[in-house]
Chains A and B, each alone.
Chain A
Amino acid sequence: MSDARQTTRYTEYHPRWYRSRVSTWWWLARWPYLKFILREISSVFVAWFVVVLLLQIRALSRGPQAYSQFERWLQHPPVVLLNLIALFFVVFHAVTWFNLAPRAMAVRFRGKRVPDLWIVGTNYAAWAAISLVVAWFLVRS
């Protein structure tokens, strides 16, 4: 005789979930994603600048002729084009970096959060000032 309080056993039904795979081209699907990837790619051009800088230092240490050769190399159209693109990306990096700065740091003054615009503005002002200082050192003979 079976126990009257025999518990009912249920077979668990597990629905077949649908999972879609993320495409390799996920970053092309939406404009904000593409902007993000472009921002990340700017790091390649930061590295490119370091290469150019090191080439300049090497040319300087090898004498005036080597340096003139380096300067002529910089004038080649493909190099100019590459540096133009690099400049765009490096500026893009700077702009996106400064605009995101207030997010990364919750700056508080006397208990109140400093408005985002102040932090962004300070960064841009510092950028202008530092650029002028660097230019002053280089635009001389």
Chain B
Amino acid sequence: MPETISLEVLRYSPERDTEPTFQRYDVPLNKDWVILDALNYIKDKVDGSLTFRWSCRMGICGSCGMMVNGEPKLTCATFLSNYAKEGRPVRVQPLRYFPVIRDLVVEVTDFMSKLQSVKPWLIRKEEKPTSEGEYLQTPDQLNRYKQFSMCINCVLCYAACPVYGLDPVFIGPAAIALAQRYNMDSRDEGAHERMDVLAQHEGIWGCTFVGECTKVCPKNVDPAGAIQQYKLTATIERFKSFLLPRGAK
């Protein structure tokens, strides 16, 4: 294995630059290093001005998402040695389709507000008092939504979704998957409240099932599946409300 590997990292300083540029760094090629280790090496030993987000370094906080050779990845979960044989530098860029604040840090408020709009919490008509005990749930009931609950809000799916790139009002994969996580939860009674937001053109109907979101998800949430399943649910609701206008609700 060669001793070093080259990284080409996108640099952007809002105070100095009008355009981002690439800067090349050579880092040691350790077989158990991930891209995040390389970035921390650069920041510690080579260039302290390099700015990027990270936290848990074990694939659960969702902070370290970046584009590595054009693909959205968690840099704490992507091994440097995977790119050793390529023969060209590893390109590290900030997550696609989000505004760049500085270097590899992007502005994700858009996602945050969209997530909030789908009310990602248990909604009940009446809360059960604690004295009545817990909400009980069978393993089968858990399995209906468990996959969608694995989302770590890393927004790699947004970086992969061309619809989001082309139409930033699109609510996006993770938000819909998380809405489904609550819709499918047997303890939740708020599906109707979420439907208003989701059943818009900027909601599920913007999705054309490209499927890239599912491919890049590090937690196997399958947002594309969540969206398609919700399209069916929303359609059935629409037909129901058409056929029984006063009945259903």
Instruction: Please determine if A and B sit in direct contact within the complex, based on CB atoms under 8 angstroms apart.
Output: yes
> Which A residues are within 8 Å of any B CB, using their own CB?
15-19, 22, 26-27, 29-30, 32-33, 36, 40, 100, 103-106, 108, 111-113
- One digit per residue, 1 when the CB lies within 8 angstroms of any chain A CB and 0 when it does not, for chain B 61-72 equals 000000000100
Residue among A22, A36, A105 making CB contact with B229, cutoff 8 Å: A105
Q: Chain A's nearest CB lies how many Å from the CB of B17?
A: 8
Nearest A residue (CB) for B215: A32
Given A26-B162, A32-B215: A18 in contact with B225 (beta carbons within 8 A): no
* Chain A residues closer than 8 Å to B214, beta-carbon distance: 103
The answer to whether B162 touches A27, judged by C-beta atoms less than 8 angstroms apart, is yes
B28 at the interface (CB under 8 A from A): no
> Which B residues are within 8 Å of any A CB, using their own CB?
12, 14-15, 19-20, 70, 97, 99-102, 107, 140, 143-144, 162, 165-166, 208-212, 214-215, 222, 224-225, 228-229, 231-232
Q: Top 10 nearest A-B pairs by Cβ distance?
A: A111-B140, A17-B99, A104-B228, A15-B14, A18-B100, A16-B14, A103-B225, A22-B165, A19-B99, A36-B210
Summarize A's interface: helix, strand, loop or mixed.
mixed
Selected A-B contacts with CB under 8 Å, 16 pairs: A16-B14, A17-B99, A18-B20, A22-B165, A22-B166, A26-B166, A29-B70, A30-B70, A32-B210, A33-B210, A40-B208, A104-B229, A104-B232, A106-B229, A108-B144, A111-B140
Given A27-B162, A103-B224: A17 in contact with B229 (beta carbons within 8 A): no
The answer to whether B101 touches A17, judged by C-beta atoms less than 8 angstroms apart, is yes
